[in-house]
Amino acid sequence: MAPTIHILNGPNLNLLGQREPGIYGGQSLADIEGLAGERAKVRSFEMVFRQSNHEGQLVDWIHEAGDSAGIILNAGAYTHTSIALHDAIRAIAAPVIEVHLSNVFAREPFRHHSALSPVVHGVICGFGANSYCLAIDALADLSAP
């Protein structure tokens, strides 16, 4: 059986394709799931893809995925504020890649700070939906012998 990666998406990402397409692109979250699923298959991963607007649900999913091949986390606005997500990431063994569709450093100053970056393996931002594919490639490289 192929190793499993978990792709977890936070608040408002269910509105992709409708919400500020000039910033986040025109693809829906379902489109991104399809794109990520194709890349995961090429990289020999099984994939679990989820979205929640609730911080506690994301914490639970991080705990569930704690011994998987890795987690790709787009925590949305929780990136900038969530000590709970920070602590959940610190508590698990799986590598976590933080992703953002937009280049957060080219946006409002409050988006320049991440509560998660100090505890994740790496950060990918600014490549739109392809940020997820780049993160899948990174997890594959991390798990290669």
Give the active site residue among 24, 78, 86, 132.
24
Phi, psi of 64, deg, nearest 5: -60, -35
C-alpha to C-alpha distance for 82 and 85, rounded to whole angstroms:
5
**Token pair of 11 as six digits:** 């608040």
Give the active site residue among 6, 78, 86, 100.
100
Whether 78 is a known active-site residue: answer no
> H or E stretch including 39?
helix 29-42
Cβ atoms 95, 139 nearer than 8 A: yes
Collect all residues with Cβ–Cβ distance below 8 Å to 106 and sequence separation of at least 6: 126
Q: Which of 108, 66, 51, 57 is nearest to 84 (CA)?
A: 57
Cβ atoms 62, 88 nearer than 8 A: yes
Whether 100 is a known active-site residue: answer yes
Q: What residues are annotated to the active site?
A: 24, 100
